[in-house]
């Protein structure tokens, strides 16, 4: 019998909706189960498991995928966070499969693509990637509004849900001036930016704005918004228009006009003139001053988002299988 580890984040926005027994009921009798909770237990090694059931939000999932994505195991994701952007993103992949416990045949599985950020080291004229890499499942961003993901109070998110972010939106409406150089798609962009965002998702921070999203492609997108030329009140007014254009009107095509840059990328180089706080799948991550390469690649693990688990009608919103791993069923 195969082994499955159930992980529940007790601090997730909707963690009360899930339990160990409910997960076991959803996944059936094919596994021998163990369980742990976040933040009570430290989980570092998944080598003894065939499957992992992750119950939490975007940040919880990202922390597990970072450790498990290069292992031939199955990851079941029960989205019980506040925004659950990753789970909602998979709905746009048009890959449906029903619960294995009901015996229905599953659709053809597809690989999941994750983002990677690696520091570039130059030595003796050669540029290499640092061994310590950071992975993200759907967004890696810095600048205006991005701290909302990791500064919102846990208790407020559990009590008010997405409304807990409203006050933070007002608080974070201010121009940022990130001094950076971005090399992407054979072009270089230099200067100060209010927003730098790398994403593999049609949505982020609750907004469904990336209408050019392709879940099956090995590519992602970069969205960058230059800092306003003016300061004070004029700067606040100036920054409104590109942010409104991107997040409220949406982006269907590549754009390189005025202060707004939106491009499909397979990789990009980022040079920072100072330390910068990034939001990595809803969690804070600091990039030190230096050069970095952001790229996208396939994971080796299978990936499924599970919905409607509250009603005992489990639906696999997406199943993603690695090319090197046929199945763990």
Query: Position of tokens 């005992």?
Result: 312
Query: Which of 288, 283, 329, 323 lies closest to 61 in space, CA to CA?
Result: 283
Is 227 in contact with 219 (CB distance < 8 Å)? no
What is the pTM (predicted TM-score) of this model?
0.80
Q: How far apart are CA 276 and CA 283, in angstroms?
A: 14
On the question of a cis peptide bond just before residue 263, with omega within 30 degrees of 0, the verdict is no
Q: What domains appear along the chain, each with residue ranges and CATH number?
A: 2-112+300-320 (3.40.50), 114-298 (2.60.200.40)
pLDDT, one tens digit per residue, over 244-266 is: 999 888 898 899 988 999 999 99
Contact 77, 306 (CB under 8 A): yes
Q: How confident is the model at residue 324 (pLDDT cuts 50, 70, 90)?
A: very low
Nearest Cα to 86, choosing from 60, 117, 110, 124?
A: 60
Q: In the numeric block, which tokens belong to residue 175?
A: 């121009």
Q: What is the pLDDT of residues 199-220, one digit of tens each?
A: 988 888 777 888 887 766 788 9
- The arithmetic mean of pLDDT across residues 110-126, rounded, is 80
């Amino acid at each position: 019998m195969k082994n499955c580890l159930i992980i529940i984040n007790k601090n997730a926005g909707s963690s009360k909706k899930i339990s160990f027994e409910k997960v076991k009921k959803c996944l059936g009798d094919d596994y021998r189960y163990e369980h742990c909770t976040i933040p009570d237990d430290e989980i570092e090694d998944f080598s003894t498991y065939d499957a992992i059931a992750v119950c939490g939000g975007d940040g919880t999932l990202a922390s597990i995928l970072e450790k498990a994505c290069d292992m031939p195991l199955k990851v079941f994701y029960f989205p019980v966070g506040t925004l659950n952007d990753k789970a909602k993103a998979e709905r746009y992949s048009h890959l449906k499969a029903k619960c294995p416990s009901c015996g229905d045949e599953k659709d053809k599985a597809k690989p999941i693509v994750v983002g990677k950020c690696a520091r570039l080291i130059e030595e003796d004229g050669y540029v290499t990637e640092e061994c310590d890499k950071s992975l993200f499942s759907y967004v890696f961003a810095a600048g205006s509004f991005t701290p909302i993901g990791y500064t919102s109070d846990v208790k407020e998110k559990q009590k008010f849900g997405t409304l807990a972010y409203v006050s933070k939106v007002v608080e974070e409406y201010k121009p940022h001036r990130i001094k950076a150089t971005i090399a992407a798609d054979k072009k270089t962009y230099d200067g100060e930016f209010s927003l730098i965002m790398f994403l593999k998702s049609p949505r982020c921070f609750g907004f469904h704005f990336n209408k050019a999203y392709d879940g099956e492609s090995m590519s992602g997108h970069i969205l960058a918004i230059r800092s306003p030329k003016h300061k004070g009140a004029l700067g606040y007014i100036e920054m409104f228009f590109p942010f409104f254009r991107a997040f409220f009107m949406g982006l269907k095509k590549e754009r390189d006009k005025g202060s707004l840059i939106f491009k499909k990328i397979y990789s990009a180089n980022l040079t920072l003139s100072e330390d910068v706080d990034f939001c990595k799948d809803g969690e804070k991550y600091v990039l030190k001053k230096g050069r970095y390469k952001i790229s996208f690649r396939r994971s080796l693990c299978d990936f499924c988002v599970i919905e409607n688990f509250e009603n005992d009608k489990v639906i696999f919103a997406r199943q993603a299988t690695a090319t090197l791993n046929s199945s763990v069923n």
